Amino acid sequence: KAGVTQTPRYLIKTRGQQVTLSCSPISGHRSVSWYQQTPGQGLQFLFEYFSETQRNKGNFPGRFSGRQFSNSRSEMNVSTLELGDSALYLCASSLDTGTAGNTIYFGEGSWLTVV
Amino acid sequence: AQKVTQAQTEISVVEKEDVTLDCVYETRDTTYYLFWYKQPPSGELVFLIRRNSFDEQNEISGRYSWNFQKSTSSFNFTITASQVVDSAVYFCATSGLTGGGNKLTFGTGTQLKVEL
């Protein structure tokens, strides 16, 4: 069974540009979440999507957005990149059973460097 | 709000030693969930264990064991007979209903270095 797949794995962008990261969840998983990991702030929740709807959102500016498609695949977008956006972006999926506490599985992440 | 504290920033042990990683959590939820993840240098967060707040039974899986104590809000993780391959950053996390069912709040992680 394939795990959570993220693309691209590594990318370098210039300040002011935008970036789109892609995530394919584990087959059958309908919930997809995104996290940002930086040395200074640690692992922080960005947002969660379920059945193409944003169900939960963390404390990030509007430059960070996401969406989910009917096949549960998800993308996140960061516009007007800043140096501080350099981070590891992790996608996670879960077999949402309608209750809390589902086991959440993570992908290998996308390493974004903003120069 | 939920909070997870991993006071140990870095631990170094010699192979075959036992090591315990501490985790203390705070939550207002009466029902909550606790997790441990392992992050090797590749970056992927590898799921290790999930426990429910109403199940305080400790668990052993091979060389891994977990000690959940509600009275002290702790969920500690022990590796027995550590190996070099155990070297990684280990994260404790929690989720609950008020934070959104699938939203994880992570601790700052403990870097474990196992040397020969």
Q: Please state, in angstroms and rounded to a whole number, the distance separating the CA atoms of residues A102 and A81.
A: 32
Residue in chain A lying closest to B46 (CA): A106
Report which of residues B61 and B83 the model is more confident about. Answer: B83
Alpha carbons B104 and B86: distance in angstroms, whole number? 23
Give A-chain residues touching B42 at CB under 8 angstroms: 108
C-alpha to C-alpha distance for A71 and A49, rounded to whole angstroms:
12
- Between CA A72 and CA A30 the distance in angstroms is 6
Looking at residue A79, its pLDDT comes to 96
The pLDDT score that the predictor gives to residue B90 is: 98
Banded model confidence at residue A99, pLDDT cuts 50, 70, 90: low
Residue ranges of chain A whose CB lies within 8 Å of a chain B CB: 31, 33, 35, 42-43, 45, 48, 50, 55-56, 58, 88, 90, 92, 94, 96, 99-109, 111
**Is pLDDT of B100 > 70?**
no
Spatial distance between the Cα atoms of A79 and B105, rounded to a whole number of angstroms: 25
What number is the average pLDDT over the span A25-45? 95
Each residue of A62-72: pLDDT tens digit? 999 999 999 99
Q: Do B45 and A106 touch (CB under 8 A)?
A: yes
Residue range A2-7: mean pLDDT, rounded: 93
Question: Smallest Cβ distance to A48: which of B102, B107, B108?
Answer: B102
Task: Determine whether the interchain pair A101/B32 forms a contact, defined as Cβ–Cβ distance below 8 Å.
Answer: yes
Query: How does pLDDT run across A74-97, given as a tens digit for each residue?
Result: 999 999 999 999 999 999 999 876
pLDDT averaged over every residue in chain B = 93
Separation of alpha carbons B57 and A11, rounded Å:
44
- At residue B57, the pLDDT reads 80
Res. A98: pLDDT tops 80: no
Q: Residues B73-89: what's their mean pLDDT?
A: 96
Q: Which residues pair with B21 in a beta bridge?
A: B77
What are the angstrom distances between the C-alpha of A35 and each of A15, A64, A89, B12?
21, 11, 6, 28
A111 token code pair: 């390493």
Residues of B with CB under 8 A from a CB of A: 31-33, 35, 37, 42-47, 50, 52, 91, 93, 95-97, 100-109
Separation between Cα atoms, residue A23 and residue A29, nearest integer Å: 12
pLDDT of residue B5: 98
pLDDT of residue B54: 87
Of A53-57, A58-62, B36-40, the one with minimum mean pLDDT is A53-57
pLDDT of residue B99: 59
